[in-house]
Amino acid sequence: MLALLFALCWPDSSLLRAPDGSLTSPKAPVMQGLVPLLFIFFSVPGIVYGFAAGTFKNANDVIHSMEHIMDMLISFIVFCFFAGQFLYVFGHSNIGSLLAVSGAEFLKNLGMPSGITLFGIIMLTACLNLLITSATSKWAILSTIFVPMLMMLGISPELTQAAFRVSDSAVNVCTPMFAFYPLLIGYCQRYCHKAGVGTLSSMMLPYTFALLIVLTVVLYAYWFIGIPLGFQSGFDYPSTMFPRS
């Protein structure tokens, strides 16, 4: 199936390409059809395997298998309804935004060395991630404060975002505010029927702390050794280009 898709996309005149010949453009039919492609790429091998292994005898067995999967998702769908109401109300309260701005201003007023300030940003983002799990929203709030503040300390915006990403990725799995937390609970209940929010959060806390420690150490190691964070990405920013106010 991959070979067939590759063969269909390979010609420059392929109908699956965008008008400019790009395969990765949002206008490319292959990108617009990712959802049905994923459905086909997962369902066809599953059905073939089911008949080959003898699990499926006829089309009714395929339908019953799909019904069984939906039975597992019922509790998830119900939980999503109440979680959605809470997240909506909490988002409109702007409590998370208020805490984010207040915490960032507190770090700015401390005037600590760049290395300690960067660590403070990691810890602040980790705490805020318990309330605001959307990386885009959180970065939109914090970047306007963190980036210019650390540029004045000689730290590049790339390093600032890397520090943000360290804590943003480590805490998601243990906060009930995470958008996919109901799905995680649903998977957990397949093996532990009594599992709930508290059970999953307590189970994931050791992994959160371990990830936070390891990723922080890796980031500082990259910084001190001088390993690039990406293409044309540095750690230092010439503070003379961004004079202190």
Q: Which of 35, 57, 79 is the last residue of a domain?
A: 57
Say what the pLDDT of residue 108 is: 67
Q: Which residue has the higher pLDDT, 103 or 236?
A: 236
Q: H helices within the chain, ranges in order?
A: 2-9, 29-32, 34-53, 59-93, 95-110, 114-128, 135-152, 157-171, 181-189, 197-225
Q: Are residues 146 and 222 in the same domain?
A: yes
Q: Are residues 116 and 31 in the same domain?
A: no
How many domains are contained in the chain? Answer: 2
Alpha-carbon distance of 167 to 182, in angstroms, equals 21
Enclosing domain of residue 185:
90-241
Evaluate whether residue 62 is within a structural domain.
Answer: no
Q: How many C-beta neighbours within 10 Å does residue 100 have?
A: 23
Q: Residue 245's closest CA among 102, 107, 108, 98?
A: 108
- pLDDT for 50-101, tens place per residue? 999 988 998 889 888 888 877 767 766 776 777 677 767 766 777 766 766 6
DSSP 14-65: -TTS-TTS-SSSTTSHHHHTHHHHHHHHHHHHHHHHHHHHTS-SSHHHHHHH
pLDDT at 180 over 60: yes
Q: Are residues 187 and 229 in the same domain?
A: yes
- pLDDT for 7-48, tens place per residue? 888 888 888 888 888 888 888 888 888 899 999 999 999 999
pLDDT at 188 over 90: no
